[in-house]
Amino acid sequence: MTPFRIAAISGSLRKASFNTAALRAAQEVAPDDIEIEIVTLEGIPLYDDDLRATGSPAAVTRLCATIASADAVLIATPEYNYSIPGVLKNAIDWVSRAEPQPFKEKAVAIMGASPGAIGTARAQYDLRKVFVYLDVHVLNKPEVMIGGAASRFDADGRLIDEATRKFIASQLAALQAWAHRLRQ
């Protein structure tokens, strides 16, 4: 059976990132027919249209290829100052200028983790707005907003909260179903 392939992008570069850890949890709870590759945004330069005019930087080319070849994309976004971290927005800005467009017809789901109470809700809604411009088909529900992250992950970054693990599993199933619907 061909697996359903998800490109999972973490909006944090930090080694001990809760958001990257949430994507590792997604790998753990995924059923056998779902394969999740975690993509790093390391090495992506600041967007500069003059730089783009000279050719796509290698890290951007790699990110575009990973998105384009995946069946769906899962983004885990931190919340910085009530919005999307610059690292993630910058990466999306690069991808948005690529031709052919890697996000075209792609099913995308959003999650996020924060030590704060509302688990990146504000950043997630800002990210949804960005994807309106790109005409990306973002999954509506279930929303995965992991608040109080410090107590839901252990010291090794493993998601130990069973309810959150189930939420993530249900989002993966919904993303798979959403991608199949978009293909019809």
The CA distance from 168 to 111, in Å, is 8
User: Residue 142 or residue 148: which is nearer to ligand FNR going by CB?
Assistant: 148
The answer for 21, left when phi > 0, alpha when psi is -120 to 50, beta otherwise, is alpha
Please state the closest distance from residue 49 (CB atom) to ligand FNR, in A: 26
Interaction site with ligand FNR (CB under 6 A): 12, 14, 17-19, 78-82, 114-116
For residue 149, give the nearest of 76, 64, 69 by alpha carbon: 76
Please state the closest distance from residue 22 (CB atom) to ligand FNR, in A: 8
User: Residue 114 or residue 164: which is nearer to ligand FNR going by CB?
Assistant: 114
Residues with Cβ within 8 Å of 91's Cβ and at least 6 positions away in sequence, in order, are: 9, 41, 44, 60, 63
Please state the closest distance from residue 115 (CB atom) to ligand FNR, in A: 6
The CA distance from 182 to 123, in Å, is 25
Please state the closest distance from residue 54 (CB atom) to ligand FNR, in A: 31
User: Residue 44 or residue 179: which is nearer to ligand FNR going by CB?
Assistant: 44
